[in-house]
Amino acid sequence: MKDSPFGRNRALGVITLFVVIFSIYGFRLLYLQVISPDYRELAGDRIRRREVIFPERGLIYDRNGVLVVYNEPIYNLMVIPNQVSAMDTARFCQLFGMDRETFDKQLQKAKKYSWRKPSVFIKEIKANDYTAAEEFLYQFPGFFPEVRTIRRYPHRAAAHVLGYVGEVDTADIRKSGGYYRPGDHIGRTGVEQTYEAVLRGERGVRHMLVDQFNRSVGLYRGGLWDTIATRGQDLTITLDIELQQYGEWLMQNKKGSIVAIEPSTGEILALVSSPAYDPNLLVGRERSANFQALRTSGYDPMNNRALKGYYPPGSTYKPLMALFALEDEVIQPNFYYGCGGAFRLGGLRVGCHAHTSSGNVQAAIQTSCNAYFCALFKMFMDQKGYKNAEEAYEHWREYMTRFGLGVKVGIDIPGEIIGNIPTVATYDKAYRPGAWKASTIITLGIGQDKMIVTPLQQANMTAAMANGGWWYSPHVVKQVESTDSLLAPFRIRHESGFRPEIFGPVLEGMAMVVSGGTGRQAQVPGIAVGGKTGTAQNPLGLDHSLFIAFAPVDNPQIAIAAIVENSGWGGSWSAPICGLMIEKYLNRSISSPQQLAKEKRMIEGDFLNPPKPVLPVAAAPTSPAAEASVAVPVPAGPAASSQSAQP
Amino acid sequence: MKRQSSIWTNIDWVSFGLYLAIMLFGWLVVYAVQFGPQSSSLFNFSGIHGRQLIWIIISLIMGMMILIFDSEFFPGFAWIIYGLVMALVLFVMLTAREINGARAWLEFGSIKIQPSEFAKYATALALAKYLSMPSVNLAEWRSRAGALAVIGLPMLLIIGQKDTGSALVFTSFIFVLYREGFPIGAVVVGAYLAILGVLSLLVEPGYLHSAVALLCLGYAVFALQRSLKKNRQPTLNVLILLMIGMVVLIITGLLTESLWLSVLLAAVFMAVLYFFSQFLRRERRYILLPAGLFLLSLFFGFFIMDVAFNDVLEAHQRERILTLVGKNSDKDANYNVDQSKMTIASGGWLGKGYLQGTLTRYGHVPEQQTDFIFCTIGEEFGFVGSAAFLLAYLALLIRIVLLAERQRSAFSRSFAYGVAALFFVQIAINVGMTIGLVPVIGIPLPFVSYGGSSILAFSVLIFTMLRLDADRLLVLR
C-alpha cells in the first residue's frame, strides 16, 4: 500500500477552494438576479429583433463624373415563424399579390430553416409596392421588412464592363471563410466582381424593440450593441459613358466589338460587345428569368466579345510586322518590293490585290500589300543570328508578347483570354519538328495562319504603336474612393524596347491609309486619323471587317479597334465606325452632313441573320431626383440610342 | 462471491442519488430549451430531449455493467484504455471532418461521438495508475515530469484537434497532483504565470516590463529579509545595487514602448549585475535569483504569451478572452455574453416557472441546449432554483472528495480526486461563462448539457468511482 503523504489538510484545501468558487458564483447570481436592476429591466417581455443593416454598395461614376450606377431601395419581407400568430391570411395574400399555396409553401420553407431565426418570405419587393402594404403590416405579427438595395443603370449601357450583382451561393460563402451569409449580394463579372471588396461596404447590426403589434418602439439598450453599416466605396471608371452608349448604338444589329483606349494612360474609353443588353435586366426579382432569356436569345449577348472574341487580325497586323522588320534592321524604311499581284516563293503563292508597287514601308501599309509583308516575314525569319526557323520564330513570338499579343494584357475585369500566337510546339505538332520554316507559315506576316487576337489586344497594340512603343495595361477603373493600391498594376509602363525612330514611318503609313488608302471611310473632318483596315477570312461565313485607328496623328488621344463580324471588307464598316467614334470622343458630336449620312448607314447595317435575338426589355430605371441632372442619358444620335440590340 | 453480493450494499447511495437527480433535472431543462409552439409533448421522444433520454438510459446501463466489473479491472487496464483512447483521439484528429472549426467528432451515420470526452476518463485512470505505482514519488522531479506527461499528451492531441476549450479541462488534474504531494511552490509559480499572462494581454509591453521589475524587487527584498533573519548579513552594497537596478528598470519600462528595447535594456542590466556580482561572491544569489526571475518573466510574458495567444488560440477564442479582460471592441462577441447574463437576470428570485422562459423560447442565447443551458435554469427557476442547483453540484463534489479520502489505495483516491476535479473545472468554466466571470469556452455542463458523449463519459467516471469505492477496503494497484 502506498500511503498518502499529505493527508487531510490538502483535502481541506481542495474543499475550501470548491466552496469559495461556488460562493462567488452564488453571490454573482444574487447580484444579477436580485440586487442589480440593470439586466432584469432589460429583459422585459418585449421582443427584441436583431436586424442586419445592409450597406449600400458604392456608386459608380464615369470619367466625366457622370453617375452610371446607383442604388434603389427594395424590400425583403422577412418572417420569424414562432412569432406568427392567427392572422387574416387572405388579406395578406391580397396585399402582397401572392396565392395561398405560395404562402403556405414559403412559411413551410421558413419553418424548416428555423422557427426562431428570420428568413426571407418575399424577396425584393419594389419600393412602391412595399409602401402600399406597409401600413397594414402590423396586422401580421412575425413579419417585418428588411431594406436592401438593387443596382440601377440610368444609361442602360456598358453591361459588359460593369457586370452585375447576384446572390451568393454556397461556394462563395465557403470561399469567403464565412464573411458572406445566405442572401448576401456579391459582384459577378465586370467591375462589380473585380472591385467587390471595396464596393460592398461593411454590414451593420441593429437591435430593435418591438411591441406586441410588431412595431418598432425604439432601440434596445439605446443601441449599445448596434454597429453601423459602412457604405461601400465609390468608383470612378475610365469609360466615357456617352461614347460607350454611342458605340453600342452604332453596333446595333451587328455582332462584334469596339474597344477604345486613351494611349497615354491605358484607360479604356469605351468597351462595346455587341449584341449588348440593358444591365437593368439583371437586377431584382426578374434577374434569373431575364438571365435565362438572355442566354437563350441567340447571338449570346452575355459573351464579352471584346475580351473573348476569337478573331484573326488580318491586315491590321501589317504595321506591327513592319515595326519588327525595322527594329531588327531586316529592312530600311525605303525598302522596295515589287508586287506582281502576288507573293511567290517556289510553288507558294499568296495573292494580292491590284495596286502600284510599293517604294517604301509607308506605301506598303497604305496599299496593304500582301506580297510586301509576306516578304518581310520571310526576311525576318531568315535573318542572321538565328540557328534555325524555330529560334527565329521564338524571337518573332517574343516580339509579339512585347505588344501584348499572345498574353493577357491585364485588364481589371474578369474573363480575358490570351488569344493565340502559336508556340513552336504547336507547329511542331502540326507539321513535324524541323519540317516547317518561314514559307510554311508565311501568312503570319499578314495576320492570318493560326494567329488570333482579341479586340482588346488589338486596341492595346494600336495604343502601343501610337505611343511609340510602350503601353499601360488597359483598365476600366480610374479611381477608388479611398485607396490607390488596387490600381498599382496600371501604373507600370510596359516597354517594347523598340527604337523610337522606327515608329515614324509606320505611323505615317497608317495616316496615309486613312488620307488616301484603304481606310478613307475613317476620315474625320478636321482631325488627322491614322488607321489600318483588315479583312479576316472566316470559314463560317462572310469575312469579318476589322479596323484599328488612332487620332490625332501627331498627339494620339484615342486608340481604337473595331470588328464587325460577317460584314465583309474592313474599309466599309469598321473604318467608318472607328471614324465616328473618334469624332464623337474628340468633338463630342457628329457635325457634318456626310458624317451624319455615314452614321445613318451604320445604324441601318444589319448583319444578323434571322431569327433576330429577342431580348427582354427592362423597366425604365427611376432616376433619383437629386441626381437627375447628371444621370439623364444624352445620346448623340436618335433618342433610343441605348436599345442597341432591339430590332 | 462475497464481493458480488456486497456491491449493492457498499455503494455510496448519496453520490448516486445526487448524480441521478442532477441528470434527470438536466433532462427536463433540455426539454424546456426546445419547448415552443412547434414542440411535441414531454413523452414524444422525437426531439432532442428524446435523444437525450436514450443517452441517459445507455449511460445507466453502462453504469450497471461497470458496477458488476471486478474493481481490479480498472488499475489493471488503465494503461491499455489510455493507449486506445489516445490512438482514437489521434485518429480523429487526422481524419475527421471539421465541424464548428474542430476535428473532434467521430461520425457513425447520424451519431457523433467525441473521443476527447472519453480521453478525460482514460487520463483520470492512467494518472491514478501512475501515481499509485510504488516507484513514483512526487518529491522527485522525474515523477513530476512523468505525471505531467500523462496529462500533457491528451492536451496536446486535443489542441491538435483545434478544440482548445476541451484541452483546458485537463488542467483540472493539477488538483490530483496537489493532493498527492506536488510541491505547493509549483502551484504558486503557476498562479504567477497566470497573472502575468493576463497582464501581458492587458497592458502595454513597457508597463508589463515595469510591473515585472517591481515584482522582482519585492522578491529581492523578501529574500534579503529572510537571510537577515538567519543572521547571514548581506552587505549594504548588494541592497543598494539591487534597489537602483530595479528602479532603473521600472522607469525605463514606463518610458519604452518597444518590446525589443525593453528586452535589450534587460539584457544590459543583467550584464552589469553579473559584472558586479563577481566582486560579491558570497551574496551572489541575492542578485542573480531576482535577475533570473525577471528575465524569465519577461520571456514568458512577451514571447510565450505572444505565441500562445496569437498562434495557438483560434480567432474566436482570442476574441472571447479579450472580451473578458474588457479589451475587445467586437460587439458580436460581447453580445452573446450580455444576452446570457440578461436571460439569467430575468429570472429574479423565483424564476418565471418551468417552460415559461420567454427569452429561452425566442432563442436569444446561442447554443442554448449545450453550452449555454445554465441560462434556462436561471431564467425559469430564478435565484433560488439556480443556487439550489449549484448547491447540489457542490454537495456532490464534496461528497466525492470525502469518498476519496476514505480509500485505502492510492489508485482509488487519485481517481476519485480526478473525478471531482474534472467536474469542478467544467462546472466552474461553464457556469462562469454564462454569468460573465470566465471567457466563453465551448464545454458542456456535466449531466445537463445536451450531448451523448458528455453524458456517457461523465456517467462512466461516476460509476467507476462508485465501483472503486465499494471496494474501498481493498488495496488496488
Tens digit of each residue's pLDDT (9 = 90 or more) over B258-306: 556 666 766 776 677 666 666 666 666 666 666 677 767 766 666 666 6
pLDDT over 90 percentage in chain A? 38
List chain B residues with CB under 8 Å of A18: 394, 397-398, 401, 424
Mean pLDDT of A503-526: 92
Give B396 to chain A, closest Cα distance, Å.
11
Give A7 to chain B, closest Cα distance, Å.
8
Mean pLDDT of A317-343: 87
Task: Choose the weakest-confidence range: A141-155, A595-609, B1-15, B298-312.
Answer: B298-312
DSSP assigned state of A498: -
Q: Contact at 8 Å (CB) between B450 and B193?
A: no
A115 touches chain B (CB under 8 A): yes
Count chain A–chain B contacts defined by CB atoms under 8 A: 130
Task: Choose the weakest-confidence range: A442-451, A489-498, A583-592, B261-270.
Answer: B261-270
Only one residue has cell 425604365, namely A620
Indicate the pTM of the whole model.
0.64
Give the model confidence (pLDDT) of B234-254 as tens digits: 555 666 666 666 666 666 666
Residue A263 — φ and ψ, nearest 5°? -60, -35
Give the model confidence (pLDDT) of A352-363 as tens digits: 776 666 678 998
DSSP assigned state of A520: G
List chain A residues with CB under 8 Å of B363: 115-117
A20 touches chain B (CB under 8 A): no
10-residue mean pLDDT profile of chain B (477 residues): values are 59 92 91 67 69 91 91 90 93 79 74 85 94 85 88 89 82 87 70 65 61 67 64 60 67 61 68 66 64 69 64 67 57 71 85 74 63 88 94 95 90 94 93 84 86 89 92 72
List chain A residues with CB under 8 Å of B333: none
Decide: residue B329, CB within 10 A, 0-12 exposed, 13-18 middle, 19+ buried.
exposed
List chain A residues with CB under 8 Å of B174: none
Compute the residue count for chain A.
647
Q: What's the pLDDT at A325?
A: 93
ipTM of the shown complex: 0.80
Give B374 to chain A, closest Cα distance, Å.
11
- Which residues 317-346 on chain B approach chain A with CB closer than 8 angstroms? 331-332, 334-335, 338, 341-346
A28 touches chain B (CB under 8 A): yes
Asked if A14 and B401 come within 8 Å (Cβ–Cβ), the reply is: yes
Give B4 to chain A, closest Cα distance, Å.
24
* Residue of B331, B387, B404 with shortest CB distance to A29: B387
C-alpha distances out from residue B468 to A294, B136, B172, Å: 76, 21, 21
List chain B residues with CB under 8 Å of A47: 362
A24 touches chain B (CB under 8 A): yes
Q: What's the pLDDT at A604?
A: 87
C-alpha–C-alpha distance, residues A596 and A580, integer Å? 9
A13 touches chain B (CB under 8 A): yes
Q: What's the pLDDT at A641?
A: 36
C-alpha–C-alpha distance, residues A399 and A377, integer Å? 13
Grid cell listed for B415: 481517481
Maximum alpha-carbon separation in chain A: 119
Q: What's the pLDDT at A185?
A: 87
Mean pLDDT for all residues in chain A: 84
Give A2 to chain B, closest Cα distance, Å.
6
Please give the radius of gyration of chain B, using alpha carbons only, rounded to the nearest integer.
26
Asked if B420 and A45 come within 8 Å (Cβ–Cβ), the reply is: no
Distance of CA A531 to the CA centre of its chain: 26
Give A20 to chain B, closest Cα distance, Å.
11
Asked if A82 and B38 come within 8 Å (Cβ–Cβ), the reply is: yes
C-alpha–C-alpha distance, residues B149 and B154, integer Å? 9
Q: What's the pLDDT at A624?
A: 42
Q: In a mutagenesis test of the A interface, which of B335, B374, B474, B475 is the best target, namely the one with the most A β-carbons within 10 Å?
A: B335
Q: What's the pLDDT at B462?
A: 94
Only one residue has cell 526557323, namely A389
Q: What's the pLDDT at B278?
A: 64
List chain B residues with CB under 8 Å of A40: 345-346, 348
B97 touches chain A (CB under 8 A): no
Beta-bridged to residue A267, according to DSSP, are A262, A475
* Residue of A11, A22, A82 with shortest CB distance to B401: A11
Q: Contact at 8 Å (CB) between B312 and B156?
A: no
B363: left (phi over 0), alpha (psi -120 to 50) or beta: left
* Residue of B331, B342, B431 with shortest CB distance to A43: B342
Q: What's the pLDDT at B253?
A: 62
Give the model confidence (pLDDT) of A393-426 as tens digits: 999 999 999 999 999 999 999 999 999 999 999 8
Give A140 to chain B, closest Cα distance, Å.
17
List chain A residues with CB under 8 Å of B348: 33-34, 40
* Residue of B345, B347, B394 with shortest CB distance to A19: B394
A108 touches chain B (CB under 8 A): no
Split at pLDDT 50, 70, 90, the class of A139 is: confident
Q: DSSP H helical segments within A81-212, as ranges?
A: 89-96, 100-113, 127-134, 159-162, 170-175, 190-194, 196-199
Give A50 to chain B, closest Cα distance, Å.
10
Q: Contact at 8 Å (CB) between B37 and A82?
A: yes
Residue A481 CB neighbour total at 10 angstroms: 14
Q: What's the pLDDT at B195?
A: 65
Using DSSP's 3-state secondary structure scheme, residue A350 falls into strand
Q: H or E element: which one contains B97?
A: none
| Beta pairing, strands A235-237 & A60-61 | parallel
B197 touches chain A (CB under 8 A): no
* String of DSSP letters for B247-296: HHHHHHHHH---HHHHHHHHHHHHHHHHHHHTT-GGGHHHHHHHHHHHHH
In A523-559, which positions are buried (b, 16+ CB within 10 angstroms) versus exposed (e)? Answer: bbeebebbbbbbbbeeeeeebbbbbbbbbbbeebbbb
Only one residue has cell 472574341, namely A309
Q: What's the pLDDT at B210?
A: 65
In terms of average pLDDT, the best of A162-171, A621-630, B468-477 is: A162-171
